[in-house]
Amino acid sequence: MNPEDVVQFHRAGVHIAVLTLNRPQARNAVNAALARALEQHVQAVEADAEIRVAILTGAGGQAFCAGADLKELAGGSAPSARSTPDGGFAGFVNARRRKLWIAAVHGAAVAGGLELMLACDLVVASEHAIFGLPEVQRGLIAAAGGIYRLPRSLPRAIALEMIATGDPIDAHRALALGLVNRVVAPGEVLHSALQLAGRVCANAPFAVAESLAVARQVPDLDEAALQALARDAIARLVKTDDYLEGPRAFAERRAPRWTGH
């Protein structure tokens, strides 16, 4: 497989991008080539004004992503080889992203794979998916977001149990705990993610982006700081054409024609 093939990219219509981790023989584990490729695709998605939502998924039926390629690590390569300076692990977990990202998860999302999922905004999962941070079982630490993003996404006791034991949870428990948005049949994961992406794309893109920019910072800021961010977001929003298009379309009883400007 050529290095450029380890992450595949395609458009699903005008406004949706699908990025597929493409190392199914290695359960889509992250090696150095995948990290570089994924970072390049993320940057291209974020720079493309037409793309409003991106879906991240994995090839094959076994795993969304099994984390770092331990064979590469055992061969003596440094852990940093699977990271990039700007994007962090897999070129993704610390990447600056304004678009909405949906993880479409089948099979296992474990170790760094769960950290990739936690870096996304929404999750559609197969009913056969599992989620875990087994790093401590291998003498490692889930330092690419797992040990601090999982406790933000789950009740504290559940997150700490998963981190300390390394034991996974299944898709239905993940749904009940709010870790994922939807659980569907294995063959429906990407289709359901595309439907969810379509619902987002039906809304005003600037309003979605500004809303997400504030909502993503809720765990880190106090009420006063969040109020200030919301005021700034509204001030930018009222200067756009879409701010008037929404009420105008409602009054005229038609679907809005968003421009993103």
Residue of 115, 210, 223, 252 marked catalytic? 115
Identify which of 230, 236, 233, 201 has the alpha carbon closest to the alpha carbon of residue 99. Answer: 201
DSSP string, 160-209: HHHHHH---EEHHHHHHHTS-SEEE-GGGHHHHHHHHHHHHHTS-HHHHH
Which DSSP symbol is given to 236? Answer: H
Strand 169-170's sheet: what is its strand order? 63-65, 108-110, 130-132, 169-170
Is 135 among the residues known to form the active site?
yes
φ and ψ of 170, to 5 deg: -90, 175
Which DSSP symbol is given to 219? Answer: T
Query: By CB neighbour count within 10 A (0-12 exposed, 13-18 middle, 19+ buried), where does 5 fall?
Result: exposed
Is 39 among the residues known to form the active site?
no
Find out whether 203 and 237 touch, Cβ atoms under 8 Å. no
Residue of 39, 72, 135, 210 marked catalytic? 135
Find out whether 103 and 56 touch, Cβ atoms under 8 Å. yes
Q: How far apart are CA 169 and CA 176, in angstroms?
A: 11
Find out whether 114 and 133 touch, Cβ atoms under 8 Å. yes
Residues designated catalytic = 115, 135
